[in-house]
Structure 1
């Protein structure tokens, strides 16, 4: 790079894209957003005016531009794979929001290209790896503070969903965070997974299954269960408990004041993911910028995106079959080890 800052092009200027543009502009000192694209022109033009960026006529043109050093993909799920492939072909760093792709085959093609190039170019948007609570849990496990982890009990509860939500999204957009963070905490791949149907909530505003109970078994036999409540919950609330041989780890609620009034004790819970995980996104992008400058990405990789995709496919298959399904993955290339 022959300029002072990493010049970033952003594909997708919806709510999450705009949040990330704001971060790259005002939180990460090493980056500057110079290019934007959205298939709906209005949000791209608004973002361009606000942040002094150039609007491109397509995502591919943005990726190929000499003006752009690195690419952030925050567009619709079905477009991620093609944009990541184009960035890999152009040998450019790319940050991709989850999911990496809609099929395991697409992920395998990316892995093949990246492995042949011999260095990582892709970082996945699994922000929980940067949340202080999960980081502390990981360190406690690595320091053997609770002995060998045996199981994880977790929950992902949402107040509402935007129109058009579908049953599969409970896995591919919601539980995908637990798929990744549980792998990361345990440092294990999954062997088999299952979706269990439970009594349905009358609070669900659409016709999708809610809640769903998702379970994973790792290769060494550890068990993970995730209650996925996508609609009608009391708050946006993320729970996680790791049970070890010699103790347990409980994910803390984010720091908040405990209030005593009206003969009760209370503290506030978040209503959206932004209220709960905002700082983790900041730290994630600071890490991405540092990784680009050092030519060594440290965040979630193409392999992690692939693992989440294969696991999601197996879970959806299990929901349809009513029985556990195997998670079958290709051999891991050395660049991800």
Structure 2
């Protein structure tokens, strides 16, 4: 079966997913594309033999579109996802599922009323080979009960438009989801410590930040977010258990020996670091659509991540430990 996909948003990530669906993923075809920039939508659609449509309503309602991929700007996600659910069409939504927890809950409620899972959220860390091996080790009990998780998320630089709350909402959101998934445990509180600020930042930005989380089971998690580290894009994660540890491997890079030194290069951007994860993520989404069975992180995970990141921003602003206030998970998402 070929899954015919309509894509909403043809910017950087949307265009990359269209390329992926066309040249990397098997069992899929892009049929329709829309973007707020009509000329861009037309150019991208034409490049893959699809047609450009005026808006998300037309893409979702198209008779030859089986499933929808949402890659527009975050504030537009909720309405597109809700429309896809109302149409009974599976939808892959890049993070965030919505920009407010309230809108995430609207999607959760709509999906439950529909009676079957239709939504997958683009938390691609779950598809990275290193993270998947960490998950296997933890689930197998090879390190005993997890006690602590140490994470770091470093970017070389960020633009002036990046502000302090984005450290939680846009950056650490990936660690938040990955930790929930790795530990099969919910985050119940957040705290933020603010070290001395780097000189390599814009004046309005608190950078770095150290985020401290506690899970319902009592595990402690620390996440260093440092978005002006200067040297590259560096993702680290280590889980410490009662009998051992498991650490995320660095991406394989050649070791160069010259002039009395041995060195390995550091990747410079997220696209290069997680290319394989994105490929696997979209392939598995297409496969699940073809099989009629939803998989991967869903609406509930999008809601929980929104609640936790909101609590983290409140903790940054108040200096307090803030409860995440996540509702009890419905059996529908068990």
SS of residue paired to 1:215: strand
**Runs of 5+ in structure 1 lacking a partner?**
none
> Larger deviation: 302-311 or 43-52?
43-52
Is 1:12 equivalent to 2:6 in the alignment? no
In 2, Cα distance between the equivalents of 1:163 and 1:93? Answer: 36
Cα distance, 1:335 vs. partner? 2.3
Structure 1 residue corresponding to 2:307, chosen from 290, 310, 314: 310
Q: Structure 1, residues 7-27: CA drift from partner, whole Å, max 9, x if none?
A: 111111111111100111111
In 1, Cα distance between the equivalents of 2:112 and 2:136? Answer: 29
CA RMSD of aligned residues (A): 1.2
In 1, Cα distance between the equivalents of 2:45 and 2:254? Answer: 39
Cα distance, 1:147 vs. partner? 0.5
Kept in 2, the 8 Å contact 1:48–1:54? The answer is yes
> Under a length normalisation based on structure 1, what TM-score does the superposition of the two structures give?
0.97
Report what 1:202 is aligned to.
199
Report what 2:257 is aligned to.
260
Report what 2:170 is aligned to.
173
Report what 1:220 is aligned to.
217
Structure 2 residue corresponding to 1:325, chosen from 313, 322, 325: 322
Cα distance, 1:205 vs. partner? 4.2
Q: How does 1:90-129 map to 2 (within 5 A)?
A: 90-129=87-126
In 1, Cα distance between the equivalents of 2:170 and 2:48? Answer: 29
Is 1:190 equivalent to 2:209 in the alignment? no
**Aligned pair count?**
334
Cα distance, 1:244 vs. partner? 0.7
Structure 2 residue corresponding to 1:271, chosen from 253, 265, 268: 268
In 1, Cα distance between the equivalents of 2:59 and 2:46? Answer: 17
SS of residue paired to 1:297: coil
> Under a length normalisation based on structure 2, what TM-score does the superposition of the two structures give?
0.97
Report what 1:280 is aligned to.
277
Is 1:71 equivalent to 2:68 in the alignment? yes
Cα distance, 1:218 vs. partner? 0.2
Report what 1:160 is aligned to.
157
Cα distance, 1:206 vs. partner? 5.7
SS of residue paired to 1:71: strand
In 1, Cα distance between the equivalents of 2:229 and 2:40? Answer: 30
> Larger deviation: 297-306 or 205-214?
205-214
Kept in 1, the 8 Å contact 2:160–2:202? The answer is no
In 1, Cα distance between the equivalents of 2:29 and 2:159? Answer: 31
Decide whether aligned partners of structure 1 residues 61 and 163 sit closer, same or farther in structure 2, where only a CA change above 3 A counts. Answer: farther
Is 1:130 equivalent to 2:130 in the alignment? no
Is 1:61 equivalent to 2:58 in the alignment? yes
**Runs of 5+ in structure 2 lacking a partner?**
none
Q: Which portions of structure 1, spanning 4 or more consecutive aligned residues, are displaced by more than 6 angstroms?
A: none
